[in-house]
Amino acid sequence: MAAGIHQTAELILGAQMDFSYLSFHPDQSLDSLVHNLKEKIGEFGNDLPCLVMVDLFGGSPANSIVQLLSEGYELQTVTGVNLPMVISALTGRDMYIPKELIKEIMREAAEGIIDIVDKLTEE
């Protein structure tokens, strides 16, 4: 899922700086995921807080973020990742402070949920 969203976002927006993904595999341990996440964050090579988007609250990726937060990592994190959220984050990251960006991402995500039948039959 992570690779697909990353690839699609760059297909739409073009190559992006400071934009990466980390896939989680079912046979992977939480410790291994935390280790890989630390390495991925280190690749950015700056002191800016990272925005990390994960699929489910309570899942292993989200739990790995909780562990990093407890270790003092400066992260912003949202769950429920989808393509509209990622596009919103990429296009808005230079316009908002982190907490405002999170609110904008969440708004975009909610607006991206549309019942097509209802939309087509609106008057």
Domain span at 73: 2-121
Question: pLDDT of 37-61, one tens digit each?
Answer: 999 998 887 667 789 999 999 999 9
CB 65 within 8 A of CB 90: no
Q: Alpha-carbon distance 100 to 117, whole Å?
A: 32
Helix axes 2-13, 83-92, angle to 10 degrees: 50
Which residues, other chains included, contact 85 with Cβ-Cβ below 8 Å and sequence gap of 6+? 53, 78, 105, 106, 108, 109, 112
| Structural domains in the chain (count) | 1
- What tokens appear for 53 in the block? 């988007």
For the entire predicted model, the pTM comes to: 0.84
> What is the CATH number for 99?
3.40.50.510
| pLDDT tens digits for range 74-102 | 898 999 999 999 999 999 888 877 788 89
